[in-house]
Amino acid sequence: METKTSTFFSRLAARIPGYTGYVAKEERRETDRALRGAIATRLLSRTNVLDRQMADAARLMQLDALEPLEFTRRRLEALADRIRTAPAGYGGFFDAVTIGVAELEGIGRYDLALNDAVEVLVDELGALRAGDRPALDHLLSSVQAVEDAVRGRDRIVSGVDRA
């Protein structure tokens, strides 16, 4: 139920040209930010799998497995940070790059694909076993796929794919 104040502001906003679209874009920006935050959190929540694998490898004296596991962990942490801090799917009134509805939809598709790719990555992390180099190599190729998806999204936000 709306209060009198929010009703007043809604009526006032309807009289300002472009403001309704601005609010809708601002809501998309918040949704975009929340989705990216959830994706990054999901990814980081699974790095404990790599920690356990490193502990198991050390306990079993599989010292050659430690470096690739640590490298993978650092790469996942960097990827989660990049996802969390990726540019928002929206351009403000004074931004150099204006993002239209078509671009917002494209960003949304990239974000959903990114979410799906991260889910695949999380499943692969769950199946990883210490010393399983082929599985680790496959995991790294999945990390690369997620990084590529993030780069594709960044190109849309920066305007590179709209030139």
For residue 78, what pLDDT is reported? Answer: 94
The domain tally of the chain equals 1
CATH of the domain at 91: 1.20.1420
Distance separating alpha carbons of residues 19 and 33, to the nearest angstrom: 21
Q: How confident is the model at residue 79 (pLDDT cuts 50, 70, 90)?
A: very high
Determine, yes or no, domain membership for 7.
Answer: no
Angstrom distance (rounded) from CA 69 to CA 42: 19
Q: Count of CB atoms within 10 A of residue 41's CB?
A: 12
Question: In the structure encoding, which two tokens stand for residue 4, read together?
Answer: 């009198």
- The answer to whether residue 16 is domain-embedded is no
The reply to whether the predicted model has a pTM over 0.85 is: no
pLDDT recorded at residue 7: 62
Residue 159: how many CB atoms within 10 A of its CB?
15
Query: 50 lies in which domain range?
Result: 22-162
CA angle (95, 146, 104) in 5-degree steps: 30
122 within domain boundaries: yes
pLDDT of residue 163: 44
The angle formed by the CA atoms of residues 43, 160 and 104, to the nearest 5 degrees, is 60
The DSSP annotation for 26-58 comes to HHHHHHHHHHHHHHHHHHHHTHHHHHHHHHHHH
Considering the domain boundaries, does residue 93 fall inside one? Answer: yes
Q: Which of 75, 81, 79, 80 is nearest to 137 (CA)?
A: 75
Q: Does residue 76 fall inside a structural domain? A: yes
| 87-139: pLDDT as tens digits | 765 555 444 445 666 767 777 777 788 888 888 888 888 888 767 888 888 88
Does residue 6 sit within a domain? no
> Among candidates 148, 125, 137, which has minimal Cα distance to 44?
125
Question: How many whole angstroms separate alpha carbon 130 and alpha carbon 62?
Answer: 8
Domain membership of residue 1 (yes or no) is no
